[in-house]
Amino acid sequence: MTNASISTEHLDRFAAIVGDKYALRGEADLAPHLIENRGLYHGSSPLLLKPGSVAEVSAIMKLATETGTAIVPQTGNTGLVGGQTPREGKSDIILSLERMNRIRDVDPVANVLVVDGGAILAEVQKAAEEHGRLFPLSLGSEGSCRIGGNLSTNAGGTAVLAYGNMRQLCLGLEVVLPTGEIWDGLRRLKKDNTGYDLRDLFIGAEGTLGIITGAVLKLFPQPLGHQVAFAGLNSVEDALALFNLASSLCGASLTGFELMPRFGVEITARNIDGVRDPLETAYPWYVLIDISTSDSAETAERMMNALLEQGFEAGLVLDAAIASSVAQQKALWHMRESMSEAQKPEGGSIKHDVSVPVSKIPHFMAEAEEAVMAAMPGARICAFGHMGDGNIHYNISQPLGADKDAFIARWHEMNHIVHGLVLAHNGSISAEHGIGQLKRDELATIRPAIEIELMRRIKRAFDPANIMNPGKVVRLDP
Amino acid sequence: MTNASISTEHLDRFAAIVGDKYALRGEADLAPHLIENRGLYHGSSPLLLKPGSVAEVSAIMKLATETGTAIVPQTGNTGLVGGQTPREGKSDIILSLERMNRIRDVDPVANVLVVDGGAILAEVQKAAEEHGRLFPLSLGSEGSCRIGGNLSTNAGGTAVLAYGNMRQLCLGLEVVLPTGEIWDGLRRLKKDNTGYDLRDLFIGAEGTLGIITGAVLKLFPQPLGHQVAFAGLNSVEDALALFNLASSLCGASLTGFELMPRFGVEITARNIDGVRDPLETAYPWYVLIDISTSDSAETAERMMNALLEQGFEAGLVLDAAIASSVAQQKALWHMRESMSEAQKPEGGSIKHDVSVPVSKIPHFMAEAEEAVMAAMPGARICAFGHMGDGNIHYNISQPLGADKDAFIARWHEMNHIVHGLVLAHNGSISAEHGIGQLKRDELATIRPAIEIELMRRIKRAFDPANIMNPGKVVRLDP
């Protein structure tokens, strides 16, 4: 199917569903929807639809089924694997949920919030806060990413340790199926064992099984105590030992445990406005520790002090700074969250979003460093991430003075090296970003054939015409 | 298909896979596997197989596919909806996992434990404890139920509030598919966004999509502080208010919040050895509060004292007893866990395992009492359960002096009344026990047609020959 293959008559019929104002065909209107953040993909599309209701989404999918037209759902367009980008050289129609951005209901007594699929994450956090509650999902892109995308990629972020990823934060869904039928699964129940788990099948399916138009999300009490500290360490081994100490000491109150290398702190201080290294001396590794407690502010304070004290005594913590104000807490998190951005002025960056069992992180980091440096002398490794989840963003900045294009051309080669080590530890090549276009073919080679076959059967069962975000996650036509 | 329809030659071929010692055909050997705990179902089967390895399970399923023979997986046979019972008048072969009961690996550093599907829950708890860790799933039947069944029913139990149900406690699975193929999904990762969520599809599928032969389970640090209290209250409204107070105060340290009516405490004290009412005066309602803390014993003590103090001050708690020893803690939990058993000497009991949003529990309880008493004057309602999860075991003991058979004959009538009220609150007719045979047809009437249709499509995609625990959860032939 090429661009030319959708007739103007068909496009007009799609446009009529949402009205001309919300059916855009101009190059300038479409342009930002055809590319993604990293510039890895540039898709093509004849039409961008912005439906205003579930009924309109349903009508679009009915017509898509009738006419065999591929539809790509898009929310904040912040995905990192090309899952939301239309295919190159095809005529996928883009369905944007940006107008469907309402908070439908907040019930602080039941601790639930009901939203449209197009609601912006930061707005959801705000709505929870206004009702004295916490919605804990937190990501670098929270100002623009939207709930439908967060659910479709089973987003993780910085508070997974205590609250889980998006799958654990969702009680119910409303989904428009490829046929246009609407599945109303907007349940608000903590326990409901009534048949196959459709909810978790749509979560993480990256829009290939249906379009998430609404969701029931879990809220939590706002913690009374919150402590953030930044500590300098000698090694990743020591970071693991400190993490185990923190887990035992804090249990579910340990809300964040992030690992950062010296190079990451250095470039963040250099390249990001307002960020400075909070410690006087340089250390090879750092951790950011976040503790939240429900009963009192004192409990968090006591926990953090005990953790750092025991960490010092055990020789794990070399120096540490505890944030003494909310502004300082935000500044520490800002440093961590800007680390990917800080790589940009340093030239090209080859990225990995991997996980291994937490206890294997030191081995993996040592092996990966050796292999990467052997393959690419001068590479500047910026491996940081959610240590407590076993999830490392293993980024590699180009050697000083290297040619950016030549460096980026080695993307797959470096992926192959890093992913090989990840797989040797039974790890994951996509801890939180998903598969999209970027990792679809690689996934098919590393997973047992029966696993890919089961995914294909699910895809066919839900989307027999293969019109729902085709070509993402799993390829139907081998 | 009837008993007679499997030829002796076929049965011999199945028997040869496991060896004659583990292929039982005698009436006495089969009898306990044909019935379930409540006596609601009595199935038939020509053969009980006890494979000793995943390879044998795989060979059985291959032969089942070749011969079109239905297989019913069975673990502890403690299920409450007939999911593990062979169909009546059919010739389902029972596949018991009882010999596959090993703890394969315990890794206290990574906080994971790997087990066979036939491992007994209590043994798993013990293995965790021996390594200084906690496996938090806890049920009345933990001495005999097995992990494969716990996963297949997404078991809940008494610690869901803090740790989630079985779905939240599992990282990876090994599953033998209806075709005999083995899916090795035994991953130990906290984060892994690589395609459709097969794991959560098998969890809760009640053995209709495959046989769970192995699992990776999450372990937790053993809490340092543990407090259990029992409080007398005036009403369910007050119990809800106290629960909200406890949630705010204790956050994730609130590990249990169980509601019990006076009638339940009365019959448990009367009928269960060693149980006594810990309070001097009778109250209409009771809650059992369980708090666990990771940092110190003092934190739990402080939290419990603060909660009861504020509860007294607010007029919610009328009297309370805090367990002062581990033995007393166990005694309080024993009372709660024996409540269903305590109904047996009181005659017949019509059971419901329902959930509603937590904030709706008082309304639901009031409406249900009114409707049940109107339909059956003299009924003795024993509605208790996991208030914090919105999950009530709405049991009804027969009126004093009533005829048990006549009472039990009204099972569906009473179900209809109670479930109608549950559905009016968008609740669930099976919060934690599952669907099995008991609720299969009812589920199909109360859920949107598209939901049942999606389940059928999944069933067909995984089990096209319909040999994997057929007739449970969802009916393929309408």
What tokens appear for A222 in the block?
Answer: 């706002």
CA distances from A110 to A133, B92, B244, B418 (A): 11, 44, 9, 21
* A173 within 8 A of A214, measured Cβ to Cβ: yes
Q: Does A360 touch chain B (CB under 8 A)?
A: yes
| CA A61 from centroid of its chain's CA atoms | 26
pLDDT tens per residue, range A44-75:
999 999 999 999 999 999 999 999 999 999 99
Q: Does A248 touch chain B (CB under 8 A)?
A: yes
Which pLDDT score is estimated for B157?
Answer: 87
In angstroms, the CA B351 to CA B20 distance is 40
Q: Which domains does chain A have, with CATH numbers?
A: 8-98 (3.30.43.10), 103-221 (3.30.465.10), 224-345 (3.30.70.2190), 346-434 (3.30.70.2740)
Q: What is the DSSP letter of B115?
A: E
Beta bridge mates, A218? A112
Which pLDDT score is estimated for B39?
Answer: 86
pLDDT tens per residue, range A350-376:
999 999 999 999 999 999 999 999 999
Q: Does B187 touch chain A (CB under 8 A)?
A: yes
In this complex, do B359 and A154 lie within 8 Å of one another by their Cβ atoms?
no
Taking only residues 198 to 217 of chain A, the set having a beta carbon closer than 8 angstroms to any beta carbon of chain B reads 198, 200-201, 203-205, 209
| Residue A355: strand, helix, or coil | strand
In this complex, do A430 and B196 lie within 8 Å of one another by their Cβ atoms?
no
For residue A5, what pLDDT band results from cuts at 50, 70 and 90? confident
For residue A252, what pLDDT band results from cuts at 50, 70 and 90? confident
CA distances from A49 to A17, A26, A57, A324, B177 (A): 9, 12, 9, 48, 41
End-to-end Cα separation, chain A, in angstroms: 17
Cβ contacts of B362-368, under 8 Å, gap ≥ 24: B362/B235, B362/B236, B362/B237, B362/B239, B362/B240, B363/B425, B364/B392, B364/B421, B364/B422, B364/B425, B364/B427, B365/B236, B365/B392, B366/B236, B367/B421, B368/B394, B368/B417, B368/B418, B368/B421
Q: How wide is the angle at C-alpha B175 spanned by C-alphas B173 and B178, nearest 5°?
A: 155
Q: B408: how many CB neighbours lie within 10 A of its CB?
A: 16
In angstroms, the CA B169 to CA B160 distance is 10
What tokens appear for A272 in the block?
Answer: 């990001």
Of B194, B457, B461, the CB nearest to A443: B194
In this complex, do B295 and A253 lie within 8 Å of one another by their Cβ atoms?
yes
Which pLDDT score is estimated for A190?
Answer: 92
* A301 within 8 A of A329, measured Cβ to Cβ: no
Q: How high does pLDDT run on average in chain A?
A: 95
pLDDT tens per residue, range A272-330:
999 999 999 999 999 999 999 988 899 999 999 999 999 999 999 999 999 999 999 99
> With contacts defined as CB-CB under 8 Å, which chain B residues touch A193?
153-154, 156, 204, 428, 430-435
Contacts (Cβ under 8 Å, ≥6 apart) of B406: none
Which pLDDT score is estimated for B252?
Answer: 87
State the sign of the Cα–Cα–Cα–Cα dihedral B97, A191, B285, B330: positive
Which pLDDT score is estimated for B2?
Answer: 38
Which pLDDT score is estimated for A37?
Answer: 86
| Closest to B419 (Cα-Cα) out of B438, B437, B403 | B438
Which pLDDT score is estimated for A109?
Answer: 83
What tokens appear for A350 in the block?
Answer: 């080859």
ipTM of the complex in this document = 0.95
Which pLDDT score is estimated for B140?
Answer: 87
Contacts (Cβ under 8 Å, ≥6 apart) of B136: B159, B162, B163, B169, B220, B255
Which pLDDT score is estimated for A324?
Answer: 96
Which pLDDT score is estimated for A9?
Answer: 95
Supply the DSSP string of A68-96, one letter for each residue.
T--EEEESS---SSSTTSPPTTS-PEEEE
Query: Phi/psi of residue A274, each to 5°?
Result: 80, -5
Average pLDDT per 10 consecutive residues for chain B, totaling 478 residues:
72 98 97 92 97 98 97 97 96 98 94 97 98 94 97 94 94 98 96 97 98 97 95 98 94 94 98 95 98 92 97 98 96 95 96 95 98 98 95 97 96 96 96 96 95 98 97 87
Query: Phi/psi of residue A177, each to 5°?
Result: -80, 165
Query: Phi/psi of residue A280, each to 5°?
Result: -75, -35
> With contacts defined as CB-CB under 8 Å, which chain A residues touch B298?
none
Which pLDDT score is estimated for A467?
Answer: 97
The secondary element (H helix, E strand) that includes residue A268 is helix A262-271
Supply the DSSP string of B339-361, one letter for each residue.
TTGGGGGG--EE--EEE--GGGH
Q: Which residue of B has its CA nearest to A472?
A: B195
Which pLDDT score is estimated for B258?
Answer: 97
> With contacts defined as CB-CB under 8 Å, which chain B residues touch A109?
244, 359
* A140 within 8 A of A334, measured Cβ to Cβ: no
Query: Phi/psi of residue B2, each to 5°?
Result: -120, 175
Q: Does B109 touch chain A (CB under 8 A)?
A: yes
In this complex, do A168 and B164 lie within 8 Å of one another by their Cβ atoms?
yes
Taking only residues 29 to 68 of chain B, the set having a beta carbon closer than 8 angstroms to any beta carbon of chain A reads none
Contacts (Cβ under 8 Å, ≥6 apart) of A259: A236, A239, A285, A286, A287, A361, A384, A385, A387, A392
> With contacts defined as CB-CB under 8 Å, which chain A residues touch B359?
107, 109-110
Place of tokens 């080590």: A421
Which pLDDT score is estimated for B409?
Answer: 95
Q: Does A370 touch chain B (CB under 8 A)?
A: no
In angstroms, the CA A107 to CA A131 distance is 8
Which pLDDT score is estimated for A478?
Answer: 54
